[in-house]
Chains A and B, each alone.
Chain A
Amino acid sequence: MIIAERKPLTEVLEMLDGSGEITVLGCRSCTAICLAGGEKEAKEMSEALSLHSELKGKGWSVRPITVERACEKEFILPLQGVKGTVLSLACGVGAQVVQEMFPMLQVLPGVNTSNMGAPEGIGVFVEKCAGCGDCILHLTAGICPIARCAKSLLNGPCGGSQNGKCEVSPDTACAWDQIVRSLTTQGRLDLLERNIPPKDWRPSRSGGPRRTVNVEAMPGDSQKAWRDTE
């Protein structure tokens, strides 16, 4: 899922300065699961903003709205009729879809969207995938060095790996140490001897903003039209 964390309140208050009508947008998908922007957080934020407005005489009118999935147009219809400012606790994708759908609104980010990861423990989330567009997990025992090695080394580990930890921080596991262990367990150490050549980064962000087309998912007529243009 997409991992995000709440922006500091002071930063949010600064962004909202000069607003009148404020809608705090929660999302029941990823940001709800990482406890940054679900229904509960949207309600809390809404209350905090109302209190601040009251104390400082800001004159804000604040209310929360939580949708199922802010990144799909069908799900953000509850925002129809909303005016003024939307403080999005959905991820950066959701915030942009909302802005696209309602160009007259001022959509502000209430969270910092960070990465694609998974929960490691209660309240702890770890990055797993960098979305490079050319998966090599079959070569690395199911552990991604692009996302999880601080240097994205494809033939690691580097000389900074010690006691299973990355040189960057004692809190960071060395991904290549994990890969070596995992390959040992699987009896596939031969994979370590293979040099992985320079990667083609075009399917990654380096190829520019990406557009993914799944022709199978298109209606029949569109499929034919798409194939004719290809």
Chain B
Amino acid sequence: MSVSMLQEMLDAGRFAVTAEIGPPKSCEPEQVRKLARMLKGSAHAFNLTDNQAANVRMSSLASSVLCLQEGLEPVMQMTCRDRNRIAMQSDLLGACALGVHNVLCISGDHQVFGNHPQAKNVYDVDPIQQLMIFRRMRDEGMNWGGEPLPQPPQPFLGAAANPFADPFEFRVARLAKKVSAGAQFVQTQCVLDVERFQRFMGYVRERGLDEEVHVIAGVIPLRSHKAALFMKNKVAGMCVPDHIVDRLRRASDPKEEGIKLCLETIDSLKSIPGVHGVHITAIAWEEIVPRLVQEAGIRP
């Protein structure tokens, strides 16, 4: 039996929706609860970011538990930037003990981007090795050091994939590495360049990876051409085609245009073979998520 509804959905071949919740830069649980109540029912599971962009925020584990208490299924993100293999395994055991089973293994934005650029990073392991460690804990019932676990954790293991980073030819190989390391689902960087994403998915199918892993494609509603330019110029590993920037710039109501654009993207993604869901990132515009899933016809 699966402990993750997200896993059940995906394994049953249904189109999954996940959405992002950014934990607050404070210890107010109400901030997470408010977002959780507003977003409840708009997605199958919700990603709680782990000190996103290397800024100190409420921990992803604590935020995940707050979401659970509100009746939402969390996807706990865990970066390799801030913890070594000891802390990682400890956090996984803690998460599973508290009922958090979806775990997204990621390298994390480098600390130079955040509010503590003076910090020392960890990177004891990389996300592929993190997946190897977690899979051994679950499937072999032992920690990485080889000690048996009386009750092995049962995580549903996720990873990130960025079809828009370079070198392009290697992106699918890297996804294959993640799959062979234990990734059961991947959430991709936000798709704005659909054509490039289609090429990426072509390679994914060529290698048969679509049969081995659930690909959840990222989407982002953009509120203005300035937001698009910010993504293009300031966010690492993003690809924003000029025609999107122009379209938002020319629009009489940029917000509505952004929503329309996002709906069109979701529509295109739904028809790409191997895409098993979408992941909506609407940081600081979370209230738009219920409308997006409604109008896209993907509301759970």
Contacts and interface: CB of A to CB of B under 8 A. Distances in A.
B110 interface: yes
A160 B124 contact: no
Nearest to B144: A198
Contacts of B108: 151
A157 interface: yes
Given A193-B173, A197-B129, A159 B81 contact: no
B167 interface: yes
A159 B160 contact: yes
Interface string B243-277: 00000000000000000000000000000000000
Interface string A155-171: 11111111110011100
Contacts of B112: 168-169
A154 B121 contact: no
Contacts of B129: 154-155, 195-199
B176 interface: yes
Interface in B147-193: 160-162, 165-167, 169-170, 173-174, 176-177, 180-181, 189
B132 A198 contact: yes
B283 interface: no
A75 interface: no
Contacts, number: 98
B236 A159 contact: yes
Interface residues of A, number: 30
Interface in B272-298: none
A177 B166 contact: yes
A69 to B, nearest CB: 31
A150 interface: yes
B23 to A, nearest CB: 21
Contacts of A159: 107, 160-162, 165, 189, 236-237
A12 interface: no
Given A160-B110, A168-B110, A198 B124 contact: yes
Interface of B: 80-81, 85, 107-110, 112-113, 121, 123-129, 132-133, 144, 160-162, 165-167, 169-170, 173-174, 176-177, 180-181, 189, 236-237
User: What 4 A-B pairs have minimum CB-CB distances, sorted nearest first?
Assistant: A159-B162, A167-B236, A160-B236, A155-B128
